[in-house]
Structure 1
């Protein structure tokens, strides 16, 4: 039997973070296009900027469809750019717990190693305040769960309905 848990959608802070980021990137593209500079330099700059705008636009679109899928033999995290699967026996589903960063600040993401981190949205590999590596996919500070793994890192996710997975 497959169980699907929706990750929490972006809050207004997350939406505004993406909108401001995309506006800055597009504004930078317009500035480069209008600036008097050699054509090769302009083409290279636009060639670097355009994929970034497309990538962040796609991530903004897909982040609200992110989900955790638990099937018979795998645990899959379906998130933009960083999705992956683990064998089910490597995720300790019996020890899934809710996390409150006010009560356990050592589990709060501290340093981004490989990912996206902006107000209202964190996705990717982070170093936690306790120096442990973790995969993080959060859109708010509410409804956060920790899924321990046997790979020396936990999964820290903000779920739409965390009570569905905690205690199962």
Structure 2
């Protein structure tokens, strides 16, 4: 008959538990951010008013006053053929397949705020602030026309 004696290990210090708690909180935070980003990608909208162009639904949303928009230079573009205005590098934003939002550097060196999901239908609107806004909408010409109308009414 073998007799055995068990010697339990001394329990770990509470530092170990704090480590797991902090890592868990960081992972939960990242998960919440990813869920919010996935939701917001589907709910971005652009509102034209007498105040200006409001970009809503993402981290990079803002109100761009009408006076800051160079509407005489605004155009509808297809980024598949307009190589100069294609995003080259992301400086601060989200770049996923089929979704680009945030600050990008374009091939021509220009800085741009993008909300692009469809490269073939993009309203490109330069601003007086040193960057362009590039937005995917179903009717980019109608967006530009509405901005021009709001600017004329002011």
The TM-score bracket by the shorter chain reads 0.7 to 0.9
Counterpart-to-counterpart distance in 1, 2:144 and 2:53: 15
1:62-73, aligned counterparts within 5 Å?
Answer: 62-73=40-51
Equivalences for residues 30-69 of structure 1 within 5 A:
38-69=16-47
- Alignment TM-score, normalising by the size of structure 2: 0.76
Gaps of 5+ in 2: 1-15, 147-154
**What corresponds to 1:31 in structure 2?**
none
> 1:78: which partner in 2?
56
1:116 maps to: 94
Give the TM-score normalised by the residue count of structure 1: 0.71
Does the 8 Å CA contact 1:96/1:165 hold for their aligned counterparts? no
Unaligned runs of 5+ in 1: 1-37
Q: After the TM superposition, which parts of structure 1 deviate over 3 Å for at least 4 consecutive aligned residues?
A: none
SS at match of 1:130: coil
Structure with greater contact order relative to length (CA < 8 Å, sep ≥ 6): 1
Backbone CA RMSD of aligned residues = 1.7
